[in-house]
């Protein structure tokens, strides 16, 4: 499903539970005169929770890796969950079909530089090369688009903020799933700390991370959470994505 806002087309699949909640409330997405009401339809016999569902954006860095990323995509599809993938450009070759599958499933796709480098150490020319080469590869596979940047290691400075041609996506929950293969520890590090509006950082290149991620999804779905892409999270908070802005958590507005 595609919806429009002031920034143009925002592509992705609405989580079914959240879509029905929005429809039942008769709401449209934020965007002023450019906002489009959501189409009515879909399954009617669904028990709706009272009040807005808590939102969470699950994100993955350092891929793609055909074996683990492919298994993750299968698990997310079974659960009807969308997420956001920040891809390393040097790992894209040989995974073109997987990336097309990723996009077709409604996941947001972004850039994690070409060589997973510390971008604060780069000149402007090298920064543009790291981001531009990756964007060019994604554009060849998926067509031109807004491929947002996640800085490796989450480190930025004023120069990076100035050079960025789109939003910069960080995170608010980090289970450090790269440290070990203890799935239980990883799951607990997320589920014991997550709250409405969090952006969760994980990595889709480890088997243990994939196992943990799918377990986390199951637990949070049972708690009533709706999984959205980062772009969707910003939109659903009534905001417009801004060039050069850092995004971590997006909490609901206080009553």
61, 62, 177, 211: which is the annotated catalytic residue? 61
- Residue pair 66/205 in contact (Cβ under 8 Å)? The answer is no
C-alpha distances in angstroms, 65 versus 180, 185, 210, 212, 244? Answer: 18, 23, 11, 17, 29
- Selecting among 107, 146, 203, 204, the annotated active-site residue is 203
3-state percent breakdown (helix, strand, coil) of the chain, nearest 5: 40, 15, 45
Q: Is 176 left (phi over 0), alpha (psi -120 to 50) or beta?
A: left
Question: 244, exposed or middle or buried, with CB in 10 Å at 0-12, 13-18, 19+?
Answer: middle
Q: Using CA atoms, how far apart are residues 175 and 187, in angstroms rounded to an integer? A: 8
Q: How far is CA 64 from the centre of its chain?
A: 14
61 is catalytic: yes
Question: Mind telling me the catalytic residues?
Answer: 61, 203
């Amino acid at each position: 499903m595609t919806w429009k806002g002031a920034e143009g087309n925002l592509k992705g699949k609405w989580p079914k539970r959240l879509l029905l909640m929005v429809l039942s409330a008769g709401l449209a997405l934020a965007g002023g005169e450019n906002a489009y009401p959501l189409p009515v339809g879909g399954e009617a016999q669904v028990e709706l929770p009272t009040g807005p569902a808590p939102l969470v954006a699950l994100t993955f860095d350092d891929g793609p890796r055909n074996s683990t990323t492919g298994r993750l995509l299968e698990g997310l599809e079974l659960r009807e969950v969308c997420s956001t993938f920040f891809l390393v450009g040097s790992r894209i070759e040989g995974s073109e079909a997987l990336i097309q599958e990723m996009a077709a499933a409604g996941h947001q796709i972004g850039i994690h530089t070409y060589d997973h480098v510390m971008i604060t150490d780069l000149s402007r020319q090298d920064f543009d090369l790291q981001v531009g080469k990756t964007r060019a590869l994604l554009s060849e596979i998926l067509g031109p688009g807004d491929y947002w940047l996640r800085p490796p290691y989450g480190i930025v400075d004023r120069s990076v903020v100035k050079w960025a041609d789109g939003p910069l996506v960080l995170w608010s929950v980090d289970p450090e799933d790269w440290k070990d293969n203890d799935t239980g520890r990883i799951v607990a590090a997320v589920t014991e700390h997550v709250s409405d509006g969090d952006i969760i950082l994980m990595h889709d290149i480890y088997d243990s991370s994939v196992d943990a991620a799918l377990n986390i999804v199951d637990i949070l779905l049972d708690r009533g959470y709706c999984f959205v892409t980062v772009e969707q999270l910003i939109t659903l908070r009534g905001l417009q994505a801004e060039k050069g802005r850092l995004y971590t958590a997006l909490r609901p507005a206080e009553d």
